[in-house]
Amino acid sequence: MAESVGVKEVKVVEGVTCPFCGVTCDDLVVHVENGKIKEVKNACVLGKDTFMHHLEGWATPRIHGKPATVDQCIDAAAEILAKAKYPLIYGLDSTELGAQRKSIELAELIGGNIDHTSSVCHAPSLQAVQTVGISSCTVGEVKNRADLVIFWGCNPAEAHPRHPTRYSVTAKGLFTPKGKKDRMVINVDVRPTPTARMADAFIQIKPNSDYEVFSALRALLKGHELDQAEVGGVAIDEWKTLLEKMKSSKFGILYWGMGLTMSRGKYLNIVALLTLTQELNRFTKFLAAPMRGHGNVVGMAQVLTWQTGFPFAVNMSRGYPRFNPGEYSVADLLAHGEVDAALILAADAIGNFPAKMAEHLRSIPMIAIDPKESETTKVATVVIPSAQAGIAAGGIAYRMDHIPLVMKKVVDSPYPSDREILERIIAKVAAMKNGGNGAPVPASGARG
C-alpha cells in the first residue's frame, strides 16, 4: 500500500521475509520512503542491518576492472563460460529459488561443476542425512511441543537471534503455554557462548570429541556400562544424567551447528548424532535439525536434490549429474587447481575461503554476480551487479526446516535480478554453443 505524504512517497510493507539467516523470519515490517528503507520492525540486529545497509557498498558493472554496461558484462560472462572446459558455478545460497534453478540449468548447459556455500558449512550434515536419514520436524512443532531443546555445537544467540524467541526457548506454544518454564534448554559446546547463558545447563566438551561422545551416549542408551570415567572431558555420570533427561522428555529436539560439521569427524559426527536421536525414539519422541546459516541455503540443496538427486558438489561434465564430495566439492576443485573458469553468485568466495583456494580463483577467469562489492568482486574478471534477493528482488526462500516462504521485493534496483542475469547468460551461451563453439544444447533442455 502506498500513500503520498507531501512530496514523499511512503510505503509500509508487512509480512516481509528476512533473507539473512536460515530462520527467515517472515513477520518483518519495512518502511520505505522515496525508494529507500527507513525502518525495519520485528527484525533481529542481523536482519535489521541487512535491510538498513542494503544501499551501502554496491557493486558496479566492470570487465577487467574497467567500467562496462550490464549487457557487455553478460556477453563477456557468457563467452568465458562457453569456452571453459571445466568450469565451476558456486555461491547461490543467498539468492532466491528461481535463480538457483537457473544456475543448475546453466551448469548442465556448460557441463560444469555446481556447488554452493553449504559445501563449507552444513554439507557434512547433508551427507549424513542421505546416509542414515533424519527424524526431524518444523520449528512450529518445536514451539508448540518441545519440552527439551539441546543446542549442540551451535550458537543461536549470535547466529540465529530470533530462533530462541520465536521457536525454541522462550516461545509459548500450544503445549508449552509458559514458554521457557515449560521446557529445559541444554547447551553442549567447547566454549560457553552467549547461548550457554540462556540455557538451563551447559556441558563443556573437549574439541574434536563429539563423535566419541555420541558413541558413548549410544552405548549407554543400550544399557552398556563404560570403563572410562569420562568421555570428551565430561564425567560419565553427567552423560547418564543428560541421557535420562532425553529419555524422559515428552518431545525432545537436538539442534546442531558447525561445531560438528567443521571439526574432526565431519559428516561422521552427524551420522552418530542422527543415529542417537533415532534410537531415542524407542523411549520418546526425539528429533534433530541443523541450524542452517544463509537465508535460502536450504532452497539450493532442495532444488539441486530434486533435479539431480544430490544436495551439493555436483558435476555435469558427462552430461548427467555425478556426486563426489572430496572431488567435485568447491574446496577440493580449487585446492587441486582443477577448474578453468568460475561463476560466483551471491557469495564472497575469496573473502571466505582458505588462502590456497582463493589463490586458484584469482588465477582463472572469474565472473562475480553480486549486489555488493566484496573481496571476490575486487579481483573478478567480470562483475555483474544484481538486485539483492529478498530486498530488491522477490522469490522463494526455504526456511531451515524446509518450509518455503515468499520473499518480497520492497525496493527497486537499477540492476536485474540474479535470475534474469542467469537467464540472459544461458541464452547467450546456448547461442554460442549452437554456433559451433562447443557441444550442442541438449535437446531436452534443463529440467525443472
d(Cα 233, Cα 117) in Å, to the nearest integer? 32
- CB closer to other proteins, 294 vs 399: 294
Q: Binding pattern to other proteins, positions 294-313, x when CB under 8 A?
A: ------------------xx
Query: Minimum CB separation from other proteins for residue 148, in Å?
Result: 25
Scan residues 55-74 and list those touching other proteins (CB under 8 A): 56-57
Binding piece for other proteins, criterion CB under 8 A, among 44-52, 100-108, 222-230, 363-371: 44-52
Measure the CA angle with vertex 247, ends 242 and 252; round to 5°: 85
Q: Which of 35, 133, 309, 354 binds other proteins (CB under 8 A)?
A: 354
- CB closer to other proteins, 144 vs 377: 377
Residue 151 found at the interface with other proteins (CB under 8 A) = no
Q: Which of 46, 70, 201, 432 binds other proteins (CB under 8 A)?
A: 46
Q: Which of 117, 119, 195, 296 binds other proteins (CB under 8 A)?
A: 119
Scan residues 378-437 and list those touching other proteins (CB under 8 A): none
- Dihedral of CA atoms 345, 350, 353, 357 in degrees, nearest 10, equals 100
Binding piece for other proteins, criterion CB under 8 A, among 118-126, 386-394, 398-406, 413-421: 118-126
The DSSP output letter for 292 is -
How do strand 184-189 and strand 201-204 relate by DSSP bridges?
A: parallel
152 beta partners: 188, 256
Reading the block at residue 75, the C-alpha cell is 556477453
424 Cβ partners below 8 Å, 6+ apart?
Answer: 74, 416
Residue 357 found at the interface with other proteins (CB under 8 A) = yes
Residue 227 found at the interface with other proteins (CB under 8 A) = no
- CB closer to other proteins, 194 vs 442: 194
Nearest alpha-carbon partner for 50 in 15, 21, 90: 21
- CB closer to other proteins, 154 vs 396: 154
Residue 373 found at the interface with other proteins (CB under 8 A) = yes
Residue 340 found at the interface with other proteins (CB under 8 A) = no
Scan residues 153-212 and list those touching other proteins (CB under 8 A): 155, 158-159, 161, 190-192, 194, 204, 207-208
Chain-centre distance of CA 3, in angstroms?
37
Binding piece for other proteins, criterion CB under 8 A, among 43-51, 93-101, 131-139, 437-445: 43-51
d(Cα 99, Cα 283) in Å, to the nearest integer? 43
Q: Which of 258, 368, 382, 389 binds other proteins (CB under 8 A)?
A: 258
* H helix runs in 202-296, sequence order: 210-221, 236-248, 258-261, 267-280
Half-sphere exposure of 140 (CA within 13 A, CB side): 3
Size of the site for other proteins (CB under 8 A): 57
Query: Minimum CB separation from other proteins for residue 54, in Å?
Result: 8
Neighbour-count burial for 61-75, b at 16+ CB within 10 Å, e otherwise? bbbeeeebebebbbb
Q: DSSP readout, 135-187? A: ----HHHHHHH-SEEEEES--HHHHSTTHIIIIISS---SS-TTGGGG-EEEE
Query: Minimum CB separation from other proteins for residue 314, in Å?
Result: 12
Binding piece for other proteins, criterion CB under 8 A, among 81-89, 296-304, 353-361, 393-401: 353-361
Residue 124 found at the interface with other proteins (CB under 8 A) = yes
- Helical packing angle, 236-248 and 210-221, nearest 10°: 60
The phi and psi torsions of 36 (rounded to 5 degrees) equal -120, 140
Residues that bind other proteins (CB under 8 A): 45-46, 49-50, 52-54, 56-57, 119-120, 123-124, 127, 155, 158-159, 161, 190-192, 194, 204, 207-208, 258-259, 261-264, 266-267, 312-313, 325-327, 329-332, 334-335, 348, 351-358, 372-375
